[in-house]
Structure 1
Amino acid sequence: MKKLLTIVAAVIALLLSPIGVTPAGAAIAMEWDKGVVPASPFELTNDRSCVLIGAGAGCFEPQGDYFYVTDRLADGHSAALFWRNYHPGDTLYRNGACFNTAGADTARICNKDMRENSKLQIRLCAADARLPDVPVLVLSGDLDANTPTVSGREAAAQFPHAEVVEVEGAGHTPAQSPEGARLTAEFLSRQTS
């Protein structure tokens, strides 16, 4: 039971936590992408935008705005390239991750449209891209302009046993509304019975 509550709390925190802050104070949603096989062999034109570690390599190719991720180890983990994109003036406006889940000795790309003349930070690490097979409740506020219900459905689709509920009249923190609190309590009671 304690493990289930910890996982539920972690998922709720992940979905609701602000990763970065815009000038208006709104949360920025993390962009999660599973890399795809490149249509043609990938050739870097700017090798200064790469990060190399023993587990793999991660690069950003500005000619086409591609993130390129290789996995060099047969260790059961995925290679993941985490990125942050800043407006001029160092204001974070987008961030995300590109995962290579295909295994050792593979390369994958994620195509993104980055703003010209913006600053980009990248970090490569080994990650477990598989999410736990546990019941998950995703609450979306129908008034949330930053993370609409469709984003909640996309997050829930990563879990085999997830349910999405749109809370009427709620904004970005639907669990704090009376209806959201009731739905959360009902969900948790179903898991303990």
Structure 2
Amino acid sequence: MADENTQTAPVAGAEESNATQENKGFTYYFSDPDSANAEMHHVVITLPYELPELPWRWHTEKPDDSLKDPVWDLKTNGWVENSKDGQAAILQEATQKIAELDKKNAELDQKSVELDQANDKVDAAIKAMQQSQQMQTQQSLALTQGLQKVVEGQQQTAKVMASMQQILVGMKADQAKADGTPATNQPTENDKKQENGGN
């Protein structure tokens, strides 16, 4: 049976033996969920020394007191209620998967918010660029219209100057007829002074 250095007990007596041995050594928990012997599902072992490495099926984590027949589950890496069809282990595994999915869903929601914010910034930049292009187009149109008016003004000035020149030529011709001197297209000294600003 058990020697003085090790003590094994089923779940029912584990609480009492654990309390008396707790200050004398280190408590470990053994679990063989596949054993036909229900006493091997959960065994408390107290040793006077600490193990550097735990043997197969030994654990330092104590099972929850609410479990009636706790066994160690390798999938969940924790204590679960023993059941013939493994419903408790399946439920615990499903709960863990739901928690993981909730976490991933929260991460996706956060990424979606960040993506929406980035899209808003891109939309704002595009809108600002369109407004800038519209202003440039309006400025270009105003400049083109201004230049067109300047050109039209220059053309009008040229027409006025040509008309004035024709009038002056006509006046000289009329004056020459009146004086009896031949009309020439050469400017007179008076015309040259007027072209130079009267100097």
> Under TM normalisation by the shorter chain, which class is it?
under 0.3
In terms of fraction of residues, the more strand-rich structure is 1
Q: TM-score normalized by structure 2?
A: 0.20
TM-score (norm 1): 0.20
Q: Which has the higher helix share?
A: 2
Flag the structure with more relative contact order, 1 or 2, with Cα contacts below 8 A and sequence separation at least 6: 1
- Rg: which structure is higher? 2
